[in-house]
Chain A
């Protein structure tokens, strides 16, 4: 990564409070187009809080967020999606009560006007959904009109990634995408993450699996107690060192039990 490039997303001195709990402490970090960033840290380190700001789910209590150099002032998932930010979380992103086709376009349903009245274009939704099933390696038997509850964990992740690609997202946040996946499914999801990076998306990848992320990420950001404690390219830190920092912590409170 050449430092000349302007960052795609930039957080400056971001603090986030949930009531009396401080989830993020003065975090400043840059993310660039075409990189795969591993966001790591112990439970409660603030990883999800950080990406929740980027995906518009929460607004920072103080600090600034820039996208393409533009200051972001209002935070809502819809705005983030419109700006090209997609999030895939393990438990979020698919409504089990809706068909695959309906989930694919949820929030961005195509419309076909009949006598001026906007009906959702179920034909197009089915057709594109079916394409995604084939292109992203879901079982051939998966029915585009079937409920997503019938998909396996890996298929769910692949399907969400397919959706991000279809809607030409620029930023894909993957929050623990490989939890509860079989080894083969995990490989598949990680391959997809690398492919997206190669297509010059920014991929922010949250995980607990240090050795897994060390193989695919370009850079690691380590959070601890809501603060950024390290920001290193892969070639400057081994997976073992990375794991040790997360386990033992840095700074003055290393080894002490953490709260929040």
Chain B
């Protein structure tokens, strides 16, 4: 059989190399969506306001999707992020009157880290599958949100809104949302960590073949724990960014974001089997979903259609990614 040798020789060709990337489909898909919307609706699509709308929601979903990608790459999943997003946001806003902005921000992030650590403990020490452990967490923290807020709406005071730290997350810089700049910064950092740090190499190895990673001396439990904590922290950061922009809470804050974050990652080419995927893919998956959402609203489609669209995009994306992975032999 000579077939494998042929495949190897062709790897060096740039086009083949691109096709082998797990995020190849979403790169093309995102370009296509932006071109099509630009052609169909050129007046409003290329307006600054439209773009700001897209980047604003993309930042919130994208931070969650990056965290989710890290956990999925380690061959686990985190269903709790929607509730973590909500409870951290509420902790931030609720503790502000007593702690002040800097300390309440710190406390909220510590809460996020603690939840991530607890998820990791349940999965790695307790031996519960991450699907179940984080589903339990999803319900539990949502329940806590209901209990503690009693369905009331909490707001920031004028002073808290104007605080420089609130502005660092909720304000604007060069007419761009700081939230979006955070999202971009963290996307770049996460990419560097995943593909250019020892931890990243270990994480990909753990997700690809845990037995081998362990046999090569990788500390699997520590690596996965860091993944869960990072995911929870990013979910919390997303909640904080949301509150800093729009400082009022409601009990449904973050509902279904856990599923959207998984959808963004999967559409972006991250494989649930672990070890294969890119941050770029998840970022583009986020843009893809957000752009379509925005355009659907502009074109006057009822908002409920968005949920149906996410479903279609997910199925289509997963199918295309699977077919492309099979064709390229990855």
Quick one: which of A74-112 are within 8 Å of B by CB?
76-78, 80-82, 87, 89, 91-98, 102, 105-109, 111
Q: In the bound complex, what is the Cα–Cα distance between A49 and B276 (angstroms)?
A: 32
- Are B275 and A97 in contact, CB atoms less than 8 angstroms apart? yes
Interface residues contributed by chain B, number (CB under 8 Å): 33
A96 and B208 contacting across the interface, CB-CB below 8 Å: yes
What residues of chain A lie closer than 8 Å to B229, measured between beta carbons?
none
Q: Can you list, as one digit per residue, whether each of A178-221 has a CB less than 8 Å from chain B (1) or not (0)?
A: 00000000000000000000000000000000000000000000
Segment at the A interface, from B8-16, B110-118, B306-314:
B8-16
Chain A, interface residues (CB within 8 Å), range: 35 or more
Residue from A78, A97, A143 within 8 A of B12 (CB atoms):
A143
Give the shortest distance, in Å, between A182 (CB) and chain B (any CB): 11
Note all chain A residues with C-beta closer than 8 A to B197: 118-120
Chain A neighbourhood of B192, CB < 8 A:
119
Question: Which DSSP category, helix, strand, loop or mixed, fits chain B's interface?
Answer: helix
B318 to chain A, nearest CB (A): 18
Q: Is B201 an interface residue (CB 8 A)?
A: yes
Contact of A57 among B8, B201, B214, B330 (CB under 8 A): B214
Question: Which residues from 191 to 215 on chain B have a C-beta closer than 8 Å to any C-beta of chain A?
Answer: 192, 196-198, 200-202, 204-205, 207-209, 211-215
Contact A109 B201 (CB under 8 A): yes
- Please measure, in the bound complex, the distance between the C-alpha atom of A180 and the C-alpha atom of B207, giving whole angstroms: 26
Asked if A107 meets B5 with Cβ closer than 8 Å, knowing A102-B201, A118-B198, A120-B201, the reply is no
Check: A250 CB closer than 8 A to any chain B CB. Answer: no
Interface membership of A44, Cβ < 8 A: no
Report the minimum CB–CB distance from B289 to chain A (whole Å). 26
Of A9-17, A144-152, A240-248, A252-260, the one touching chain B? A144-152
Contact of B8 among A76, A108, A111, A142 (CB under 8 A): A142
State whether the Cβ of B300 lies closer than 8 Å to any Cβ in chain A.
Answer: no
Give Cα A121 to B147, complex, Å.
51
Q: Within the assembled complex, what's the spacing in Å between the Cα atoms of A40 and B205?
A: 31
* A109 contacts across to B, CB distance below 8 A: 198, 201
Q: Within B261-295, which residues are at the interface with A (CB < 8 Å)?
A: 274-276
**Distance between A245 CB and nearest chain B CB, rounded to angstroms:** 31
* In the assembled complex, A8 has its CB within 8 A of some CB on chain B: no
Known contacts A98-B208, A141-B5; 16 additional CB pairs below 8 A are A77-B215, A80-B217, A81-B217, A93-B216, A97-B274, A106-B205, A106-B218, A119-B196, A120-B196, A120-B197, A120-B198, A120-B200, A120-B201, A141-B8, A142-B8, A149-B329
Known: A97-B208, A107-B202. A139 touches B5 (CB 8 A): yes
Contacts of A81 in B (CB 8 A): 216-217
Is A157 engaged at the interface, CB distance under 8 Å to the other chain?
no
Q: Which of B160-191 contact A (CB under 8 A)?
A: none
Q: Chain A binding site: helix, strand, loop or mixed by DSSP?
A: loop
Q: Does A225 contact B (CB under 8 A)?
A: no
Q: Are A78 and B217 in contact (CB under 8 A)?
A: yes
Q: Are B198 and A111 in contact (CB under 8 A)?
A: yes
| Distance between Cα atoms of A194 and B173 in the complex (Å) | 66
Interface assignment of B4: CB less than 8 Å from any CB of chain A: yes
Instruction: Render A133-177 as a binary contact track against B, CB cut-off 8 A, 1 for contact.
Output: 000000101110111011010000000000000000000000000
Contact A106 B216 (CB under 8 A): yes
A 50-69 binary contact with B (CB < 8 Å = 1; else 0): 00000101000000000000
Query: CA–CA, A147 to B12, complex, Å?
Result: 12
| With known contacts A78-B219, A146-B8, A150-B7, A106–B208 Cβ distance under 8 A | no
Most buried by B among A76, A80, A147: A147
A180 to chain B, nearest CB (A): 15
**Nearest-neighbor residue (CB-CB) of B73 within chain A:** A97
Please judge, given known A-B contacts A143-B11, A146-B11, whether A94 and B212 are in contact too, CB under 8 Å: yes
